[in-house]
A and B are shown apart, each in its own frame.
Chain A
Amino acid sequence: MTTQEKKAAPKPKIGVYGFTGCAGDQLLIIHTEDELLNLFGSVDMQSFVMASSNPIEGELDVAFVEGSVSTDEEEEHILDIRKRAKILVAMGNCAVGGGPQAMYTGDKKYKERLQKVYGDNVKFFIEPVEAKPLDAYVEVDYYLPGCPIDQKQAFALITRLIHGAVPETNPHPVCHECKLNETHCLLLDKKFCLGPLVAGGCDSVCPSHGLPCVGCWGPIEDGNFKEHFKLLESFGMSKKEITRRIKNYGGHKILQYLENL
Chain B
Amino acid sequence: MEKALIESSRNIAIHIAILWVPNMRILKMQPKFLDKFLESLEKFGALYGPVHRNGVMKYDRIESVSELDLSGHQLPMIPVKKLFNPKQFTMLHFNEKGFYPDYSMIEKRVIIGVHPCEIHGVLRLDEIFLNDPADPYYAGLRDNSAIIGFSCWPTESSLCKSAGTDIVDEGFDLFFMNLNEFYLVWVGSSRGYDMIHEREEFFEQEVSHEDMRKYIEWRNKRNEVFKLEIDFGSMPDIMELSHNSEVWDYFAEKCLSCGQCTMVCPTCNCYNVSDVFDVTNETTGRRERTWDSCMFVDYSLVAGGHNFRESRADRLKLWYTHKLKTFGSEYGRPGCIGCGRCVDTCPVDINVVTVSQALISGEVPKE
Task: Mark each residue of chain A from 170 to 197: 1 if its CB lies under 8 Å from any CB of chain B, else 0.
Answer: 0111011011101111011000000110
A180 touches B96 (CB 8 A): no
Query: Which bracket fits the contact residues of A?
Result: 35 or more
B258 touches A182 (CB 8 A): no
B274 touches A168 (CB 8 A): yes
Q: Given that A35-B279, A175-B258 are contacting pairs, would A183 and B56 also be in contact in the complex, using a CB cutoff of 8 Å?
A: yes
Chain A, Cβ-Cβ closest to B262: A179
Query: Which bracket fits the contact residues of B?
Result: 35 or more
Task: Mark each residue of chain A from 194 to 230: 1 if its CB lies under 8 Å from any CB of chain B, else 0.
Answer: 0110000000000000000000000001111011100
B291: A residues at CB distance < 8 A? 180
Min CB gap A93→B, angstroms: 22
Q: Is B348 an interface residue (CB 8 A)?
A: yes
B257: A residues at CB distance < 8 A? 173, 196, 222-224
Min CB gap A50→B, angstroms: 19
- Among the stretches A36-44, A106-114, A117-125, A136-144, the one at the interface with B is A36-44
Q: Is A71 an interface residue (CB 8 A)?
A: no
A 141-182 contacts with B by CB, 8 A: 155-156, 158-160, 162-163, 165, 168, 171-173, 175-176, 178-180, 182
Chain A, Cβ-Cβ closest to B344: A188
- Among the stretches A6-14, A74-82, A251-259, the one at the interface with B is A6-14
A42 touches B258 (CB 8 A): no
B279: A residues at CB distance < 8 A? 35, 38-39, 42, 155, 158-159, 162
B 278-331 contacts with A by CB, 8 A: 278-283, 285, 290-291, 293, 296-298, 312
State in angstroms the CA–CA spacing of A42 and B345 once bound together: 45
User: Chain B at the A interface: mostly helix, strand, loop or mixed?
Assistant: loop
Min CB gap A260→B, angstroms: 14
- Among the stretches B13-21, B165-173, B248-256, the one at the interface with A is B248-256
Q: Is A231 an interface residue (CB 8 A)?
A: yes
Q: Given that A173-B259, A179-B78 are contacting pairs, would A231 and B283 also be in contact in the complex, using a CB cutoff of 8 Å?
A: no
A42 touches B280 (CB 8 A): yes
Chain A, Cβ-Cβ closest to B283: A163
State in angstroms the CA–CA spacing of A10 and B55 once bound together: 50
A179 touches B263 (CB 8 A): yes
Q: Is B347 an interface residue (CB 8 A)?
A: yes
A162: B residues at CB distance < 8 A? 277, 279, 281
Q: Is B61 an interface residue (CB 8 A)?
A: no
| Contacting residue for A227 out of B53, B254, B282, B297, CB 8 A | B254
B77 touches A182 (CB 8 A): yes
A228 touches B277 (CB 8 A): no
State in angstroms the CA–CA spacing of A173 and B96 once bound together: 34
Chain A, Cβ-Cβ closest to B78: A182
State in angstroms the CA–CA spacing of A227 and B298 once bound together: 20
| Contacting residue for B297 out of A156, A185, A196, A221, CB 8 A | A221
A188 touches B347 (CB 8 A): yes
B281 touches A42 (CB 8 A): yes
Q: Given that A42-B280, A172-B296, A222-B297 are contacting pairs, would A227 and B258 also be in contact in the complex, using a CB cutoff of 8 Å?
A: no
State in angstroms the CA–CA spacing of A38 and B285 once bound together: 13
Min CB gap B346→A, angstroms: 9
Min CB gap A200→B, angstroms: 10
State in angstroms the CA–CA spacing of A160 and B279 once bound together: 9
Q: Given that A182-B58, A224-B257 are contacting pairs, would A187 and B297 also be in contact in the complex, using a CB cutoff of 8 Å?
A: no
A195: B residues at CB distance < 8 A? 258
Q: Is B191 an interface residue (CB 8 A)?
A: no
B281 touches A159 (CB 8 A): no
State in angstroms the CA–CA spacing of A155 and B278 once bound together: 9
B278: A residues at CB distance < 8 A? 38, 159
Min CB gap B12→A, angstroms: 50
Chain B, Cβ-Cβ closest to A160: B277
A188: B residues at CB distance < 8 A? 344-345, 347
B283: A residues at CB distance < 8 A? 6, 9, 163
A227 touches B281 (CB 8 A): no
State in angstroms the CA–CA spacing of A257 and B260 once bound together: 23
State in angstroms the CA–CA spacing of A172 and B258 once bound together: 8
B348: A residues at CB distance < 8 A? 227, 231
Min CB gap A195→B, angstroms: 7
Min CB gap A97→B, angstroms: 20
Sample of 4 more A-B contacts, CB < 8 Å, known A42-B279, A179-B263: A9-B281, A175-B256, A226-B253, A231-B256
User: Which 9 pairs, one residue from A and one from B, show the smallest C-beta to C-beta distance?
Assistant: A179-B263, A175-B258, A159-B277, A38-B279, A222-B297, A187-B347, A8-B281, A196-B256, A196-B258
20 residue pairs from A and B, CB less than 8 Å apart: A6-B96, A11-B281, A41-B280, A159-B277, A159-B278, A159-B279, A163-B277, A163-B283, A168-B274, A172-B298, A173-B258, A175-B260, A176-B296, A178-B260, A180-B290, A184-B77, A196-B347, A224-B255, A227-B255, A227-B348
